Amino acid sequence: MRPSTVPATAAPQPRRWPAPPFITASVALHAAAGGTALAVPGAWPWALAAVAANQAAITAAGLLPRAALLGPNVTRLPAAAARGALALTIDDGPDPEVTPRVLEALAALDVRATFFCVAERAATHPRLVREIVALGHSVQNHSHGHRHHFALLGPQGMRDEVARAQGVLGDLTGTAPHAFRAPAGLRNPFLDPALHALGLHLVSWTRRGYDTREADPAKVLARLARGLAAGDILLLHDGHARRTARGMPVLLEVLPPLVQQARAAGLRFETLREALPPRDTSAGAMAR
């Protein structure tokens, strides 16, 4: 008698990248403009103007960190909002001087945060990255090198930069990131296809303190705390941290009163690992 067999359940297959409507419309406009210029020679100035205007719109969308025209962009956390929670995110580290002090401050405040780490720096300070995770914080992807020209990368360069960081951070922490934040929030149409392929959310913020250029903690705090609400994503920096007149990294003076105000409003803090489910890129996702 042949042993009975149970058919294996097929693993979900990744679906093709669903182009955002704005990108689909842009492709159609370019095609229509090219066809019109060929069919009606006198119409080429109008076709060229339409293409130029569309290119300007694409550029503007990439320069606006909270825009969603180029693909999904998480700026609030609905699930966390339902629980009365918000997320504190800290960018550009790890920094060997500032990050340990931030970890001490967070421990004293009993707050867990999300660190968007630059993989190149993380590889230089692996013990510090592992300490971040050991203390209950989340490590997410902030590119490999935080290049100033990140938003100018082509399709392959964009994929390589994000995937390389994903590998480094996953190896260091034991858990692959599920969220990505673009350097300075700047991007281009090639980013979302790369994030889709890697199962990564693009996460921006609800409000930021501009603590890389503002040395007055009161002004940074005011920007973050004004209208503070459940579901917010707050942005501070341990890397490139601006110093106060006393030489203190600004975020270290901002954290205690910020946490105090949040708790006075009945809010609590969650990491993005808790507040944001993985991005679903399976073939069946569109049907759900």
DSSP state of 174: S
Q: d(Cα 126, Cα 36) in Å, to the nearest integer?
A: 56
How confident is the model over 223-279, as pLDDT tens digits?
A: 999 999 999 999 999 999 999 999 999 999 999 999 999 999 999 999 999 999 999
Mean pLDDT of the 11-38 span: 77
Q: At what angle do helices 126-134 and 98-109 cross, to 10 degrees?
A: 10
Position 11 scores a pLDDT of 43
* Burial (Cβ within 10 Å: 0-12, 13-18, ≥19) of residue 51: middle
Nearest Cα to 166, choosing from 126, 189, 133, 199? Answer: 199
How confident is the model over 180-198, as pLDDT tens digits?
A: 999 999 999 999 999 999 9
The 3-state DSSP class for residue 60 equals: helix
**Lowest pLDDT segment from 1-15, 28-42, 52-66, 111-125:** 1-15
Position 21 scores a pLDDT of 87
Per-domain boundaries in the chain: 22-63, 78-275
Q: How many helices (H) and strands (E) does the chain have?
A: 11, 8
Q: What are phi and psi of 227, to 5 degrees?
A: 75, 20
Q: What are phi and psi of 86, to 5 degrees?
A: -140, 170
Position 54 scores a pLDDT of 84
Domain 78-275 fold is TIM Barrel (3.20.20)
Position 265 scores a pLDDT of 97
Per DSSP, helices labelled H in 178-287 are 191-198, 217-225, 250-264, 272-275
Nearest Cα to 138, choosing from 114, 110, 118? Answer: 114
Structure tokens at 220: 């940074």
